[in-house]
């Protein structure tokens, strides 16, 4: 099976035209996206300022309302691109895709319409079988995975107890499983999370796809799981993965198309 892996669009919707063409050109059986459709803005800034000043963040600022309106347009363009590509697509939110209720509203609406786009944040899909795809379940967790913090409105962050409780339900499903995670494991990058390694050890997926931190792009084996970070779509980066041979090709959209 050929999997086209992408992450971290960060609001650069000009990249979507190039992405649509690449999905067709690569003859991908499946597309996976590991979070951050939209970019950092007023929501994140208010969250950081409130923490610094020791106060509750205010979601009703004019700048936040303006950002949410802009984010709606980016979500619409992103999910339409996946639907138009007419491939099985699996998506999780990133830490910037807040508030969670807005992301899920846009995502689930598209899931219902396209019937090939699946939101796997905190969920595991039914088994997929196609002529070129062996049986596989897909599951995932979006947002920033942390030790103690859960936040849904200004950034997306989920604590170890929250995530591990949900992960236990994935274990009973037979393999192979692919897992989508926005946060990379600590073994892959110093900015990663040891909690992610615990999740991978609990679920034991055959493959995991993770989001981008800095200039991170590459693969690593964590336990028995083959982990791939495709880089940032905002920079034109994507990866094509053969899940049988674990051969990974790191590629870029054509110059002038992505950004």
Q: Please give the Cα distance from 181 to 187 (Å, whole number).
A: 14
Q: Please give the Cα distance from 197 to 28 (Å, whole number).
A: 28
Domains and CATH numbers, the chain: 2-252 (3.60.21.10)
Kindly report which listed range (21-30, 72-81, 132-141) carries the lowest average pLDDT score.
132-141
Residue 255: strand, helix, or coil: coil
Q: Please give the Cα distance from 107 to 109 (Å, whole number).
A: 5
Burial class (CB in 10 A: 0-12, 13-18, 19+), 60: exposed
Query: Within 10 A of 101 (CB to CB), how many other CB atoms are there?
Result: 10
User: Residue 114's pLDDT is what?
Assistant: 66
Residue 141, pLDDT > 70, answer: yes
Q: How far does Cα 100 stand from its chain's mean position?
A: 13
* Model confidence, pTM: 0.94
């Amino acid at each position: 099976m050929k999997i086209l892996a992408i992450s971290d669009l960060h609001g650069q919707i000009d990249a979507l035209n190039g992405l649509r063409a690449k999905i067709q050109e690569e003859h991908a059986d499946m597309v996976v996206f590991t979070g951050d459709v939209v970019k950092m803005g007023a929501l994140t800034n208010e969250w950081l300022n409130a923490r610094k000043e020791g106060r509750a963040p205010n979601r009703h600022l004019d700048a936040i309302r303006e950002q949410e309106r802009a984010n709606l347009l980016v979500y619409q363009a992103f999910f339409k691109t996946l639907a138009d590509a007419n491939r099985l697509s699996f998506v999780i939110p990133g830490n910037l895709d807040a508030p969670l209720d807005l992301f899920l509203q846009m995502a689930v609406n598209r899931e219902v319409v396209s019937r090939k786009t699946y939101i796997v944040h905190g969920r595991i899909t039914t088994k997929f079988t196609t002529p070129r795809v062996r049986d596989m379940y897909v599951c995932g967790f979006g947002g920033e995975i942390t030790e103690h913090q859960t936040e849904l409105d200004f950034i997306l962050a989920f604590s170890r107890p929250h995530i591990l409780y949900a992960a236990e339900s994935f274990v009973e499903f037979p393999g192979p499983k692919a897992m989508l995670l926005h946060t990379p494991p600590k073994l892959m990058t110093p900015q990663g999370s040891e909690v992610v390694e615990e999740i991978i050890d609990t679920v034991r997926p055959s493959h995991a796809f993770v989001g981008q931190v800095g200039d991170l792009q590459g693969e690593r084996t964590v336990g028995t799981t083959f982990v791939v970070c495709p880089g940032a779509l905002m920079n034109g980066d994507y990866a094509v993965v053969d899940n049988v041979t674990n051969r990974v090709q790191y590629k870029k959209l054509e110059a002038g198309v992505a950004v």
